[in-house]
Every structure is written in C-alpha cells, then in structure tokens.
C-alpha cells in the first residue's frame, strides 16, 4: 500500500508539472500570435492612415481602425474638411514610414489589447504647389512637409476575429 501511494503521488506530481508546462506553452503561443497580428495591424494601418492624410488616397481604413475612431481622428477630420496642409500646399509622391512597437500586452483569453508605439516619417517625397508658395512662406514652413514623430498609446479590440485600433492617443511628440 505504501509503494502504491508513492507511485500514484509520483505520477500525479509529474503529470501536474507536464500540464503546467503545456499550459504555459499554449499561453505563450497565443500571446505571440496576438502580438504578431497586432504588430501587423499597427504597421499597415498607421502607414495607410498617413497615406490617406498626405496623398488623399482612397484607402479603406476600416480594415485597421474601428469606425468610431475613424470618425473622430483629428488628421482624418482635417482631410474630410479640406484643411489638410499636406494636400493643400504640397504634392506628396511618397514617404518613408517607420513604426516601432515599444510595448504590447494582450491576454490570450481577452478581446482587447494595449500597445505603445512610436511613429516616424523621416523622409517625405513632396514638392510645394506653385499656388501655395506665398502661404507656405508666410507660415514659415519649409519647402517639404514634416510629419511630427509621435508616441501613441493604442487600444485595440478584436472584432469578428480581427484586431482593430479602437483608440489612438498621442502621449508625446518627439523632436528630432
């Protein structure tokens, strides 16, 4: 009886360790999968957002952003109202978009996540419109537009199995 009890205890403890390790591996897998999906959504979504703001392209941002956020995004509101300085004063043909995901957290069993990202556009291929030269010089701007490097706090939610940016809040503007 004593040996049977020891054998059962030995098997039970080893089984608990194996189950705990498998649980941690499963959690790490789902965390990694969600983090990778979030990184892709942030990278592609922020680049498309910048493209819409600077180049007036007809991109569908609803693949990346929640519709409630698209309605209140200050840069997109400027575009819709025709007050975007990028479109009014410059002809933008391309840009170098860079994003750094500083921090991301999402529990595998939740449908929400948080991230901190830094967006930079170090180079913009653009030329000033001839009709806007006087207005640009009066405002003290340069002949090529600048995009402010900004660190954002991002809230994401999973809707129908796809991650979308629910809110984008500027933490600070980074001077370069």
| Average pLDDT for 39-53 | 94
- Confidence band, pLDDT 50/70/90 cuts, at residue 37: very high
The pTM for the full model equals: 0.84
10-46 burial, b for 16+ CB within 10 Å, e for fewer?
A: eeeeeeeeeeeeeeeeeeeeeeeebbebbbebbbebb
Give the residue among 65, 50, 52 at the shortest CA–CA distance from 99. Answer: 50
Helices (H) and strands (E) in the chain, counts: 5, 4
Alpha-helix runs per DSSP H in 56-151: 67-72, 74-81, 85-89, 133-139
pLDDT, tens digit (0-9, with 9 covering 90-100), for 102-122: 999 998 889 999 999 999 999
Instruction: Give the H/E segment covering residue 99.
Output: strand 90-105
Reported as a single tens digit per residue, the pLDDT across 18-33 is 999 999 999 999 999 9
State the pLDDT at residue 170.
Answer: 94
- Residue 176's pLDDT is 67
Please report the domains of the chain, with CATH numbers, ordered by start residue.
Answer: 2-174 (3.10.450.50)
Using one digit for the tens of pLDDT, what is the confidence trace for 113-159? 999 999 999 999 988 888 877 777 777 777 788 899 999 999 999 98
- Starting at the edge strand that comes first in sequence, how are the strands of the sheet with 112-128 ordered? 90-105, 112-128, 149-159, 162-174
């Amino acid at each position: 009886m004593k040996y049977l009890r020891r054998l059962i205890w030995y098997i039970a403890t080893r089984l608990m360790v194996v189950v705990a390790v498998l649980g941690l591996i499963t959690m790490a897998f789902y965390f990694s999968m969600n983090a990778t999906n979030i990184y892709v959504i942030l990278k592609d979504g922020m680049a498309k957002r910048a493209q819409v703001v600077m180049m007036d392209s007809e991109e569908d941002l609803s693949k990346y952003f929640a519709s409630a956020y698209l309605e209140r995004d200050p840069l997109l509101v400027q575009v819709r109202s025709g007050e975007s300085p990028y479109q009014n004063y410059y002809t933008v043909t391309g840009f170098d978009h860079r994003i750094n995901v500083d921090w991301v957290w999402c529990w595998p069993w939740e449908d929400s996540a948080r991230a901190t990202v830094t967006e930079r556009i170090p180079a913009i291929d653009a030329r000033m419109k001839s009709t806007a030269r006087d207005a640009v010089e009066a405002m003290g701007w340069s002949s090529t537009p600048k995009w402010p490097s900004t660190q954002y706090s991002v809230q994401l939610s999973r809707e129908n199995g796809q991650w979308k940016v629910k809110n984008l809040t500027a933490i600070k503007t980074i001077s370069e």
